[in-house]
Copies of this chain bind each other. A is one copy, B any other.
Amino acid sequence: MEIDLNDDAVTSEAEKSASCNEECEKGAAFALSSSTCSSSGSSSARVSSSYLELWHACAGPLTSLPKKGNVVVYFPQGHLEQASSFSPFSPMEMPTYDLQPQIFSRVVNIQLLANKENDEVYTQVTLLPRAEYLEGKELEELGTDEEGNEATPTKSTPHMFCKTLTASDTSTHGGFSVPRRAAEDCFPRLDYKQQRPSQELVAKDLHGVEWKFRHIYRGQPRRHLLTTGWSIFVSQKNLVSEMQGENGELRLGIRRAARPRNGLPESIVGSQSYYPNFLSSVANAISAKSMFHVFYSPRASHADFVVPYQKYIKSIKNPVTIGTRFKMKFEMDESPERRCTSGIVTGMSDLDPYKWPKSKWRCLMATKPSFHSLGPEVIQTAYFPYGDIHNAGQGSSILCSKPTNFQRENIPFNTPSTQSGIMRNEVGRSDITIPNEQKLQDNISGTASLGANMRIPKDDNFKGQVKACKLFGISLSGETTAQNLQNSAKRSCTKVHKQGSLVGRAIDLSRLSSYNDLLIELERLFSMEGLLIDPNKGWRILYTDSENDIMVVGDDPWHEFCDVVSKIHIHTQDEVEKMTIGMMINDDTQSCLEQAPVTMEASKSSSVGQPDSSPTVVRM
């Protein structure tokens, strides 16, 4: 845990602020400012700069937000993805109201908020759909004033310090030891002529709640301490606290070392999980040309589903192609250092061509890596920080070289630009594994890995409908395969629902040994003899997996399918096509299906010391 101290009165040490942001990846921020405006509610139109800085200090250095008035692209698919991760409903049960995969909107408002339950920061973004923005719209027409114009704090952030809380700081035995420079820069000056100079500090947290501390300068040698009041703060904030200052008083913020499980308040999570139809408010807003709200937790690991329009257009115009090298930075939960990883894009596809054809969601962009549901030993999924992919040379650590000729097998590179993209990779569905290159922490028994693999289609039944190619990934150390312990199957049978029928059946997969067995058994259960085996009869079989994703039956190896399936669905082809709004089935897309394998090969590590973990190249 760390602490930031910021004094608005001093604005000269930009580099200090920057380095602080660097260090404050996990911890608490403590800041002091000297402005005198009254305490501002979160709904107040004017948000003080120190509140802004505090919020960003808590959010972490990787968080950037659009500004009011910016045009952004909203991805309902991504929103749905976030919602369904909390919801008992599968995405299949969440109607999409025929929403377009990309919704161009203007940011009417953006509120920087904090979860009262755990002080985690989050935002409420108010969007006004603007149908007049089209994908083809030229950048010139929009001007470039919005370029990179995100609501990040200014570099000229004044005094602010970070300190990782020590055991002594958080124990009940004593108070908080204030680094000397921090106290001198950020606290009112004490009268050092006294034997034990002291004063009372009053600080506000992100909720506006005041905290009082006794600040004393004592000991031999002398040092600054926060004594009375500190222990209460530690316990109330659950042992992890940050502090910020504002409004002539101190301000407190919190950023915990570990990624939050619940970045959003339960009340908001519930709003998306208890009612599977939350997207209808978006549909309503679009038809009524009115606003809608989106909640987003930058600290939680969900991918950004609101993306600046400029970056979106840039990505469209500069599609990532197979073979593109990349590097990405990310934050580790348990380690103070920033890690980097790199790799090569090996494939692209639509994530869900049924419901969201032509969606650019996660195809042209992605976000921070998602580790929250995993132990430190295993990293399953890697996303890309969307903006940074194309920000090479702008201080970003993401490097985008031209596509190389790196290739393997006979994978064609003819990727339609409208469909190209970077796909996430999931270890759980892998056929191959990438060697680990780096341990994340010595004291962790397992080693962490950024898994990366590819799912290989083995069934031609769905040819032309699924562009099944996946991408790659990268591993860092430790090779523990993700085990789905979540097979909470109290039942030995898997439920099967047939479209149109409220009555489900159940089937014991352990008694079957192949997909063929499954088809025969399903045909028998539903008296559909011959109808499922033959794809021309118009039936399709899908399933919901352990992550609530709707998948096509037959892609995975049989035993892996059995491990992850939670429910099987029998649908008519017509119904499946309804999920596939206007998707073109042609040779171009089909070709992707036929390319199978994937192999990857670890490249040499360029790392020195350790900070930036070695890049890994994956190729197909």
Interface residues of A (CB under 8 A from B): 95, 265-278, 280-281, 284, 289-290, 293, 295, 490-493, 495, 497-508, 511, 524-528, 531, 537-539, 542, 549-552, 555-557, 560, 563-564, 572, 574, 576, 579-583, 585-586, 588-589, 591-593, 595-597, 613, 615, 618, 620
Task: Let me know if A620 and B524 touch, CB within 8 A.
Answer: yes
Q: Which residues of B contact A597 (CB under 8 A)?
A: 503, 505
Task: Let me know if B493 and A556 touch, CB within 8 A.
Answer: yes
Q: Which residues of B contact A549 (CB under 8 A)?
A: 495, 497, 504
Task: Let me know if A267 and B275 touch, CB within 8 A.
Answer: no
Q: How close is A256's CB to chain B, nearest CB, in angstroms?
A: 20
Q: In the complex, given contacts A274-B293, A503-B596, A504-B550, what are 8 additional A-B residue pairs having Cβ atoms less than 8 angstroms apart?
A: A95-B284, A503-B551, A503-B579, A525-B618, A526-B592, A527-B620, A538-B585, A539-B589
Q: Which residues of B contact A580 (CB under 8 A)?
A: 500-503
Task: Let me know if A592 and B527 touch, CB within 8 A.
Answer: yes
Q: A271, A495, A564 — which one has the most chain B CB atoms within 10 A of its CB? A: A271
Rounded to whole angstroms, the CA-CA distance of A495 and B497 in the bound complex is 23
Task: Let me know if B270 and A265 touch, CB within 8 A.
Answer: yes
Q: Which residues of B contact A620 (CB under 8 A)?
A: 524-525, 527
Q: How close is A529's CB to chain B, nearest CB, in angstroms?
A: 9
10 tightest A-B CB contacts, nearest first? A267-B270, A506-B555, A500-B583, A266-B267, A271-B274, A527-B595, A502-B579, A271-B271, A270-B271, A527-B592
Rounded to whole angstroms, the CA-CA distance of A266 and B117 in the bound complex is 11
Rounded to whole angstroms, the CA-CA distance of A266 and B564 in the bound complex is 29
Task: Let me know if B276 and A281 touch, CB within 8 A.
Answer: yes
Asked, given contacts A274-B271, A277-B281, A620-B524, whether A500 binds B555 with beta carbons under 8 Å apart, the answer is: no
Task: Let me know if A289 and B502 touch, CB within 8 A.
Answer: yes
Q: How close is A445's CB to chain B, nearest CB, in angstroms?
A: 31
CB closest chain-B residue, reference A578: B502
CB closest chain-B residue, reference A571: B503
CB closest chain-B residue, reference A496: B555
| 20 A/B residue pairs, CB under 8 Å, sorted by A | A266-B270, A268-B274, A277-B280, A290-B502, A492-B556, A493-B557, A493-B560, A500-B580, A500-B581, A500-B582, A503-B579, A503-B597, A504-B550, A506-B556, A507-B555, A508-B557, A525-B555, A525-B618, A527-B595, A574-B585
Task: Let me know if B501 and A579 touch, CB within 8 A.
Answer: yes
Task: Let me know if A499 and B278 touch, CB within 8 A.
Answer: no
Q: How close is A218's CB to chain B, nearest CB, in angstroms?
A: 32
Other-chain contact of A583, B289, B293, B499, B592 (Cβ < 8 Å): B499
Q: A274, A276, A588 — which one has the most chain B CB atoms within 10 A of its CB? A: A274
Q: How close is A146's CB to chain B, nearest CB, in angstroms?
A: 23
Task: Let me know if B270 and A491 touch, CB within 8 A.
Answer: no
Q: How close is A14's CB to chain B, nearest CB, in angstroms?
A: 37
Q: How close is A500's CB to chain B, nearest CB, in angstroms?
A: 4
CB closest chain-B residue, reference A500: B583
Other-chain contact of A274, B267, B555, B572 (Cβ < 8 Å): B267
Rounded to whole angstroms, the CA-CA distance of A500 and B578 in the bound complex is 10
CB closest chain-B residue, reference A594: B527
CB closest chain-B residue, reference A616: B508
Q: A278, A506, A551, A583 — which one has the most chain B CB atoms within 10 A of its CB? A: A506
Rounded to whole angstroms, the CA-CA distance of A443 and B620 in the bound complex is 59
Q: How close is A506's CB to chain B, nearest CB, in angstroms?
A: 4
Q: How close is A617's CB to chain B, nearest CB, in angstroms?
A: 11
Task: Let me know if B284 and A560 touch, CB within 8 A.
Answer: no
Q: Which residues of B contact A557 (CB under 8 A)?
A: 492-493, 508
